[in-house]
Amino acid sequence: MKAEKIQYWRAFKLVAIVSFFAGLSASLSTCSPNISPIEEILATGELRVVTRENPATYSPNNGDPIGFEYDLAKRFSEYLGVELNIYSTSVSQALLDIENGRAHIAAAGLSVTEARKLSVDFGPNYQEVTQQLIGRRDRKHPKDLNELPYYKIGVLAGSSHLERLIQLRASFPDLNWDAQKAESTIELMESVRNENIELTIVDSNEFAVTQRYFPKLNSLIELSDIQEIAWAIPKNSTELQNKVNSFFTEIETSSELDQLKELHFGYINSFDYFEVTSFKKNYENLLPEFRNFFLQAGIDYGIDWKLLAAISYQESHWRKNAVSPTGVKGLMMLTNNTAAEMNVVDRTDPQQSIDGGARYLLKIQDKIPERILFPDRLWFALAGYNVGFGHLEDARILTQRAGRNADLWSDVREFLPLLSEKEYYSTLRFGKARGSEPVKYVENIRDYHDLLIWLTRNENMPVINDEELSEPERKTLFQILDN
């Protein structure tokens, strides 16, 4: 135990120190005034992107980053043929880093505002949002803007939200707020939840994603018209601007941009307060007993353990003795036949059920045509598992008949529900099916998976390998560790 603690502390120190070096190298490598950003990117082979940590933009996810902005930035670095170096900070620091040349691009869900245009340029608009006033659903809240001065509003310093409040003050002179120096609106949402402030402001796209993590919060009033979201780039860097423009034209034309939006925002439609609250309770009370089995199966079969746990939650709500009226059983709700096929002897044994379920997931994924890639591949596998592959194939035929893309989950998902209508199923090989069920099934699993990513976000600090450090870095490191 003691050794473990030391290991942990050592890992923590290493992370802190490596972050220090990363910060140092970022601050040292500011653009030289004689060289344009694009020249620097190509000469160094590195695109430096500043972002903001938020489930809607970028999450480090224990060293395996995810997020809409991360995916866009990654693709842009590939488009340029260079490495991506991404780091996160606050919105105001991100803009400063563009001004002083510390980063080449700010990909941070930034709103285009007139004030910002004075100090940075913007790439093409790739998303539209409105600003939402957020408060606790169980507390008194303003009915309209006239009542705002009676509430304690916390707003992110340097944000477009603050700019909006300043504009609003022209019409509501008593309007008051507290500009908070936080890294992200997540901290402000936490403050509203904990009742340190009564209201805050969050962009609509971010609230759609993060509301699931704060079931007590609600959107009360829309505070702005539609605002455009775009990347910030250094002023007058024409070549970089041209590259950014052509990159966005390309991903728009190929519908890659739409697919990324679908991946990160598309499925988030059904927010259920009670569902999220009971998920959190089960996460605390039931999951710990099985967690290591999910982790182990994840390692054994190269699947994210949180995904396996999400499937299991959808199947059994993490009840090891769950039984359905049709006779499926256990944490992963295997049928008798599936259990036999996977050599699972006791379906109510958590380890056997999880292990068998994980192997079965891989097996059903293999049935999906190879050209269909992750994540669509996974959604198809899950849907096929739920409704049967024949019916899934029928829905793909309907998709094709309508001139849509039968290899994209976002298209096929629209046609699955038609399998219950005679006009459609009578023309298909496998006949009638309750096609809206697999759609809901996949959506739920994606939701549970996101919730697990969120709830485990502060665990498992990555351990850095000392051997990757340069000699001076290692020297400093050991000096610090010895203190």
Which residues have a catalytic role annotated? Answer: 315
For residue 35, what are its two tokens? 């060289």
The answer to whether 132 and 223 have CB atoms below 8 angstroms apart is: yes
Q: What 3-state class would DSSP assign to 93?
A: helix
Neighbour tally for 298: CB within 10 Å: 18
Q: Is 268 left (phi over 0), alpha (psi -120 to 50) or beta?
A: beta
How many residues appear in the chain? 483
Question: Which CB atom, from 201 or from 334, has the smaller least distance to ligand GLU?
Answer: 201
* Beta carbon of residue 123, minimum distance to ligand GLU (angstroms, whole number): 14
For residue 281, what are its two tokens? 């309770």
Residues 6+ apart with CB under 8 A from 252: 258
Question: Which CB atom, from 71 or from 203, has the smaller least distance to ligand GLU?
Answer: 203
* Beta carbon of residue 130, minimum distance to ligand GLU (angstroms, whole number): 11
Taking the alpha carbons at both ends of the chain, their separation in whole angstroms is 22
Question: Which CB atom, from 113 or from 456, has the smaller least distance to ligand GLU?
Answer: 113
Question: Which CB atom, from 227 or from 444, has the smaller least distance to ligand GLU?
Answer: 227
Phi, psi angles (nearest 5°) of residue 457: -65, -25
Largest pairwise CA distance in the chain: 76
Q: What 3-state class would DSSP assign to 392?
A: helix
Q: CA 79, CA 240: separation in Å to the nearest integer? A: 12
Q: CA 341, CA 361: separation in Å to the nearest integer? A: 12
Q: What 3-state class would DSSP assign to 237?
A: coil
For residue 59, what are its two tokens? 């999450």
* Beta carbon of residue 209, minimum distance to ligand GLU (angstroms, whole number): 11
Q: CA 287, CA 280: separation in Å to the nearest integer? A: 10
Residues 6+ apart with CB under 8 A from 330: 316, 320, 321, 322, 347, 348, 349, 350, 353
The C-alpha angle with vertex 65 and arms to 64 and 66, in degrees rounded to 5, equals 120
Question: Which CB atom, from 49 or from 334, has the smaller least distance to ligand GLU?
Answer: 49
Q: CA 474, CA 54: separation in Å to the nearest integer? A: 32
On the question of a cis peptide bond just before residue 142, with omega within 30 degrees of 0, the verdict is no
- For strands 154-156 and 178-180, give the pairing: parallel
* Beta carbon of residue 99, minimum distance to ligand GLU (angstroms, whole number): 15
- Residue 7 DSSP class: H
Question: Which CB atom, from 109 or from 356, has the smaller least distance to ligand GLU?
Answer: 109
Query: Which residues form the interface with ligand GLU (CB under 6 A)?
Result: 52, 91, 109-111, 156, 159-160, 184-185, 203, 206
* Beta carbon of residue 225, minimum distance to ligand GLU (angstroms, whole number): 14
* Beta carbon of residue 104, minimum distance to ligand GLU (angstroms, whole number): 18
Residues 6+ apart with CB under 8 A from 24: none
For residue 100, what are its two tokens? 């002083």
* Beta carbon of residue 159, minimum distance to ligand GLU (angstroms, whole number): 4
* Beta carbon of residue 307, minimum distance to ligand GLU (angstroms, whole number): 27
Query: What Rg do the C-alpha atoms of the chain give, in angstroms?
Result: 25
Question: Which CB atom, from 91 or from 148, has the smaller least distance to ligand GLU?
Answer: 91
Question: Which CB atom, from 55 or from 356, has the smaller least distance to ligand GLU?
Answer: 55
Question: Which CB atom, from 91 or from 221, has the smaller least distance to ligand GLU?
Answer: 91
* Beta carbon of residue 190, minimum distance to ligand GLU (angstroms, whole number): 13
